[in-house]
Amino acid sequence: MYDEFASFVKELYKNEVFIPLHAPKFLGNEKKYLNDCIDSTFVSSVGGYVNRFEKEIQNYTGASFAIATTNGTAALHVALHSIGVKIGDEVITQSLSFIATSNAISYCGAKPIFIDIDRDTYGLGAEKLEEFLKSSCEVINSTCKNKKSGKTIRACVPMHTFGHPCEIDKIKNICDKYHIALIEDAAESLGSFYKKRHTGRFGKAGIISFNGNKTITAGGGGVIITDDQILAKRLKHLTTTAKIDHPYEYEHDEIGFNYRMPNINAALVLAGLERIDEILKNKREIFLKYKEFFANRDIDLLNAPKNSVSNYWLNTIMLKNEKEKKEFLETCIKEDIMARPVWKPLHTLDIYKDCQYEDMTNTLEFYDKALNIPSGERV
């Protein structure tokens, strides 16, 4: 069956010599906008393309405000910082995530608490979250306290895994009940909707990544979206080194961050955003091709969860066990097809082994069996 898959993927991607996991395709106005950007000499963080990009993200996601950043990690870091996450705090997140999620928490001097994923959404489990909060936490003076550590749980950062929305409305209700700020890691889910609302728009803020392997790319880039005007103003201030507006003086009123997206990156991603509907249609067609291929084979292909529209950023299959996953992966490597295991659960890494975590049954099973397969746009 593995050889059949290799033949199928080669045909799907028109017999490319090497089939990457998710390579960008530049089929729109990228060169035009980049040349214009270079000719203007505005290639750094001041320029018209950054502002245009922010407006287009607002229009596409429905968010009231968008703040462009150098990358998704920076976006998450400054979002957490802006809502008051500080040294000694704790932040709830999922162990099944790219390491940037927990790193951003650590940049604030806070410590992650890891909660298991949900079997249906592959993101942070709402029921698991509520179980943990009921058994291990209490609200004192509108602040959630961890009874085990005595520390404040300041925020919760669920991630929409591989572009599939988690049950974010349930998570928000739970967070509100326990006075925990919700920041969405929607890094992978541009073009994904939960109950007809774009991911990243349920909490105080959400972040989206435009790294080179994302649905559209700025090379490196990110954005924070929010409906909170006061928060948006603060985020814009913080990401531009907290500089006070003045014709010539360099005056700063707090420690800020040099996180503003450069104009040249904004030019690149804006061209991709103009093609977003075409790109998503292409990617969903790829998912349907995979669905047809795996229909009569004993391998599960991850589908969009209930009430969701997924961008199918990375198509993911579930093998029977770790041995079968390894055999499948080795066949792909031999055939010059890029596949990869999902991230090693963060609670198992030495750098996060001292963090508190609950039962991780679903997370560990997912890691043992899941494999990402080629999902980039076909041309």
Residue ranges per domain, the chain?
2-24+276-348+356-373, 30-274
Model confidence pLDDT, tens digit, residues 289-330: 999 999 988 899 999 999 999 999 999 999 999 999 999 999
- Give the pLDDT mean for 5-17: 90
Question: pLDDT at residue 1 above 90?
Answer: no
State the pLDDT at residue 204: 98
Question: pLDDT at residue 138 above 90?
Answer: yes
As a whole-number percent, the residues of the chain with pLDDT over 70 amount to 100
Model confidence pLDDT, tens digit, residues 14-66: 878 899 999 999 999 999 999 999 999 989 888 899 999 999 999 999 999 99
> For all residues of the chain together, what is the average pLDDT?
96
Q: What predicted TM-score, i.e. pTM, was given to this entire model?
A: 0.96
Domain spanning 2-24+276-348+356-373: which superfamily?
Answer: Aspartate Aminotransferase, domain 1 (3.90.1150.10)
Question: pLDDT at residue 207 above 80?
Answer: yes
Question: pLDDT at residue 96 above 90?
Answer: yes
State the pLDDT at residue 44: 87
- Give the pLDDT mean for 97-109: 98
State the pLDDT at residue 15: 75
Question: pLDDT at residue 213 above 90?
Answer: yes
Confidence band, pLDDT 50/70/90 cuts, at residue 4: very high
- Give the pLDDT mean for 71-91: 98
Model confidence pLDDT, tens digit, residues 327-356: 999 999 999 999 999 999 999 999 999 999
State the pLDDT at residue 296: 86
Question: pLDDT at residue 2 above 80?
Answer: no
State the pLDDT at residue 173: 98
Of 219, 210, 273, the C-alpha closest to 72 is 210
Query: What is 30-274's CATH topology?
Result: Aspartate Aminotransferase; domain 2 (3.40.640)
State the pLDDT at residue 80: 98
State the pLDDT at residue 46: 85
- Give the pLDDT mean for 169-186: 98
